[in-house]
Amino acid sequence: MILAKFCYGVSAEAKIAHNTENGKPVEAYVKFNIVDEKEENILFVPCSLYCKIHMEGVISLAKKLHLNPKWLEPITIGEYSENVEDD
């Protein structure tokens, strides 16, 4: 079992984040968790399903954010943490 934390890199082409100094689009990072009904605890999913959910999340996230799915890339929690200061 693995914690249901799913992270994605969003290409600068999506233009959802910008450099504060020059205003140019930059890559963004998104994380979502699957939580219990009280939204207090992150759930666990079987390892065999984790990759499937992570990949299917690209389509769901693209629809929710109105983005082209090609601009989203599943990344590891480690990659997310390396690129995001506050979580």
Domain locations in the chain?
2-83
> From CA 30, how far away is CA 77, in angstroms rounded?
10
How confident is the model over 45-71, as a mean pLDDT? Answer: 94
Report pLDDT for 23.
92
CA neighbor of 55 nearest in space, from 13, 11, 12, 7: 7
In the predicted structure, residue 39 carries a pLDDT above the cut 90: no
Q: Write down the pTM of the prediction.
A: 0.88
Q: What is the DSSP string of 29-57?
A: EEEEE-B-TTS-SB-EE-HHHHHHHHHHH
Pairwise CA distance, residues 72 & 61, whole Å: 8
Q: What phi and psi values does residue 25 have, to the nearest 5 degrees?
A: -60, 140
Q: What is the three-class DSSP state of 83?
A: helix
- For residue 6, what pLDDT is reported? 96
